[in-house]
Structure 1
Amino acid sequence: MFRNFFLAIAFFYVVSVLTIVAGVFVLQLQFEIFSIVSLLFIALPFALLLGWMFSKIAIEPLISHFETLERFSKETLHELNIPVSTIKTNAQMLEKGCTDEKARKRIGRIASACELLEARYDELDYLIKSQMQKERIDTVAVAPLLQERCEALQEIYPGVTLACDLEPISLKLDRMGLIKVVDNLIDNAVKNSPKGTTISLRLKAKRLEISDEGRGMDEVELFKVFDRYYQSDDSLPGYGIGLDLVKRYCDRHKIGLSIDSTPGQGTTVTLNLAEVAEDAG
């Protein structure tokens, strides 16, 4: 929508300026009162005025749109905090008074899901703030972070096993963005894996591999997999934006991203972390 709007504004501006210039030459040819340079100086203020008017027409609706969107996001963020806190508090209270082991496990899953909601809350807060300021680059110990995410997500996805084989490594990047990347990749692996299978996280030689034993993808799917809103299977939950976010984050931080997949045998996503390693030049 905005692309067509910008093209229309640019087209009308160019046509208007060309019309003014053509008018200048016509006046020069007809009357020869002023020199071409003089007429161009006369036409310049009109061209600048047109440029200002078109810029105003183009930018003001966008400013209004983004201010409304930002205000709505902040209000939604505030409203989300209340039910999340309520669920968390009541889950803790129920767990204290519960003696049935199965019920305690279910309450534990509710608490884990609430922690995941809190993480998404932090992510949304991060996304809003990142629109107004640069990403915060920290030195991140990756192995503990990955272990923490696996333990949290294992409670949410009890149908699969999350297995970690992690070497210690420190990276210089945006911590919250890395958490989003890892969560998205694990979530995709879970969605495409049958119950009872294993999702492996392997961190060796500055390379992170996340592998599943799911349905895999063919060459056509691999070609489209990073397209925004693309979903190879519409029956799966989600909106097709996870891998697009992953790719944009990796591109920003110079992280090599590749996918190796075979139909019926599973998928491996590899992140080459050499460029953001703490000892990188």
Structure 2
Amino acid sequence: MQWRLALLTGLSVALSVILVGSTTFTVTRWSLTDQLDRELTSVAQTASAAVATALDSNEGLTASIDATNGLLAVVSASGVVQQNPGQEQTLPVGPEEIAIARLQSGSSARTLDIDNVTYRVVSVPLRVSVDQSYAVVYARPMGALQSTLGSLWIVLVSAGLLGVGATTGAALWTARAVLAPVRRLSQAVRSVTQTDELNPIRIYGRDDLGELTQSFNKMLRSLQQSREQQRQLIADAGHELRTPLTSMRTNVELLLADEQSGMLPEGARGEVLGDVAAQLGEFSALVGDLVALTRDDHLQRPHEPLDMSDVTEAAIERARRRGPSINFDVELEPTPVMADAATLERAITNLLDNAVKFSPPDGTIVVHLVDGALTIIDSGPGIEESDLPLIFDRFYRSDKARNTPGTGLGLAIVAHTAEAHGGSVKASNEAGSGAKFVLRLPVAAEAGPDA
């Protein structure tokens, strides 16, 4: 591309140089020729006085007439030509000069070759008497003018070639500098293909190419994030799915062995089957939480305006069914937000399920939604101070929660959802109660009547 830009620039400059050079040469030649014609016309008019005297005395032209290093002749209206005796070459006379002799007005100028020498020929009218009309013809070599034009042509060609070469080189250098970000992008793509490393590209400016580089870096970061999510999913799934699968396999092998030997006592087979069913439920919940945590549907689905209090109310109804004996202190203000209803309800449900899990049967769960902040306080034992910075990590479970059902992903899903919606979630302990979670989302501007 850089060579194409340089060649196109050089071609454009070459065309401009040709046009300007041709125009300059043409105008200069016309100006110099016009100046020579005026000079020759002046010399011919000066010589007309001497020519008129010689013709009036019927002596004809004499060698004493000064031709000023040129050729001089006189032509009558009838076409009779008299050459100046003091010159070696014969000056040809044509229709242009005869017309001047007959009309006795204006002047003529033309170029002709005499003995391989180029002359500029002018003629001026001369009237000796009423019946004697002539034209004085004067010619001078054009060697000096042609030498000047030749020098000018050499200068124009040399300057043009130098200008085209310099401009093409400058255009090539400029194209290399301008296309450097494009080359870096190409090298980055080649590097990603060859090394499978998603390294960002340095941004050198804020122009269009800089914006292109920034967009490319965003794409690389997105690919890196997706890759990390895939690796995390594989690592988490391999770590967490191994335990329930191993337990299920043990129970199934026990059932198969009992089918052949009947070694299990009466009623033990039902307990093993119940244990398998519970493990399958745990396995299904774990897979669902893993998929919810690693999927990027919230990035593809556009957020819609909704009332956070309605979503919270739906999540509370589900929590009431899980803890029918628990009291709920609910205070919900209308809170317009831009969010995805399904993922937001899942996050709030996880917080409420966590509160129900750790609250006693006759406990109270406080659910307040004020100014875009959803506060949930349970009646449980609270969270150890050493556990507070870690509870939103994947699969982290405190010592108090190790004997309770769950996958260890619920709070990680809450943090993931809050971040995806531009909000935040914080955990702490409430004096006199249990754990306190505050989920905060940006409050959307209320729509006017014309929205």
TM-score norm. by structure 1 comes to 0.53
Say which structure is richer in helix.
1
Contact 2:396–2:408 at 8 Å: present in 1 too? yes
In 2, Cα distance between equivalents of 1:132 and 1:262: 32
2:316 to 150, 154, 163: 150
What residue is the counterpart of 1:256 in the other structure?
A: 424
What residue is the counterpart of 2:152 in the other structure?
A: none
Provide closer, same or farther for how the CA distance between residues 143 and 50 of structure 1 changes in structure 2, counting only shifts above 3 A.
Answer: closer
Q: How many residues align?
A: 177
**1:148 counterpart SS class:** helix
In 1, Cα distance between equivalents of 2:190 and 2:383: 55
What residue is the counterpart of 2:304 in the other structure?
A: 138
Provide closer, same or farther for how the CA distance between residues 132 and 261 of structure 1 changes in structure 2, counting only shifts above 3 A.
Answer: closer
Provide closer, same or farther for how the CA distance between residues 54 and 217 of structure 1 changes in structure 2, counting only shifts above 3 A.
Answer: same
In 1, Cα distance between equivalents of 2:358 and 2:305: 32
1:166 aligns with 2:329: no
| Identity among equivalent pairs (%) | 27
1:49 Cα offset (Å) = 8.2
In 2, Cα distance between equivalents of 1:165 and 1:183: 16
**1:181 counterpart SS class:** helix
In 2, Cα distance between equivalents of 1:201 and 1:216: 16
Contact 1:218–1:263 at 8 Å: present in 2 too? no
1:242 Cα offset (Å) = 1.0
What residue is the counterpart of 2:445 in the other structure?
A: 278
Opposite residue 238 of structure 1, the aligned amino acid is G
**2:367 counterpart SS class:** strand
1:238 Cα offset (Å) = 0.8
Provide closer, same or farther for how the CA distance between residues 158 and 253 of structure 1 changes in structure 2, counting only shifts above 3 A.
Answer: same
Provide closer, same or farther for how the CA distance between residues 242 and 211 of structure 1 changes in structure 2, counting only shifts above 3 A.
Answer: same
Provide closer, same or farther for how the CA distance between residues 156 and 218 of structure 1 changes in structure 2, counting only shifts above 3 A.
Answer: closer
In 2, Cα distance between equivalents of 1:266 and 1:126: 27
1:124 Cα offset (Å) = 9.4
Cα deviation digits, residues 198-251 of structure 1 (max 9, x gap):
112101122210111111012101021111100112101111111111111111
1:235 to 403, 414, 419: 403
Provide closer, same or farther for how the CA distance between residues 228 and 125 of structure 1 changes in structure 2, counting only shifts above 3 A.
Answer: closer
1:191 to 348, 353, 357: 357
**1:249 counterpart SS class:** helix
In 2, Cα distance between equivalents of 1:155 and 1:183: 12
What residue is the counterpart of 2:415 in the other structure?
A: 247
Contact 1:215–1:264 at 8 Å: present in 2 too? no
Structure 2 segments unaligned to the other structure (5+ residues): 1-188, 198-222, 235-285
Aligned counterparts, 1:1-281, within 5 A? 52=193, 54-55=195-196, 130-131=296-297, 134-232=300-398, 233-261=401-429, 265-273=433-441, 275-279=442-446
Opposite residue 312 of structure 2, the aligned amino acid is L
Provide closer, same or farther for how the CA distance between residues 168 and 247 of structure 1 changes in structure 2, counting only shifts above 3 A.
Answer: same
In 1, Cα distance between equivalents of 2:345 and 2:385: 28
Contact 1:224–1:230 at 8 Å: present in 2 too? yes
Contact 2:292–2:413 at 8 Å: present in 1 too? no
In 1, Cα distance between equivalents of 2:342 and 2:289: 7
**1:199 counterpart SS class:** strand
**1:140 counterpart SS class:** strand
In 2, Cα distance between equivalents of 1:126 and 1:241: 10
Greater relative contact order (Cα < 8 A, sep 6+) = 1
In 1, Cα distance between equivalents of 2:290 and 2:374: 25
Contact 2:298–2:420 at 8 Å: present in 1 too? no
Cα deviation digits, residues 261-281 of structure 1 (max 9, x gap):
1597301111223x243349x
**2:362 counterpart SS class:** coil
Opposite residue 254 of structure 1, the aligned amino acid is G
In 2, Cα distance between equivalents of 1:125 and 1:52: 28
**1:165 counterpart SS class:** strand
Cα deviation digits, residues 96-126 of structure 1 (max 9, x gap):
xxxxxxxxxxxxxxxxxxxxxxxx9999998
Provide closer, same or farther for how the CA distance between residues 125 and 272 of structure 1 changes in structure 2, counting only shifts above 3 A.
Answer: closer
Opposite residue 382 of structure 2, the aligned amino acid is G
TM-score norm. by structure 2 comes to 0.34
Contact 1:225–1:231 at 8 Å: present in 2 too? yes
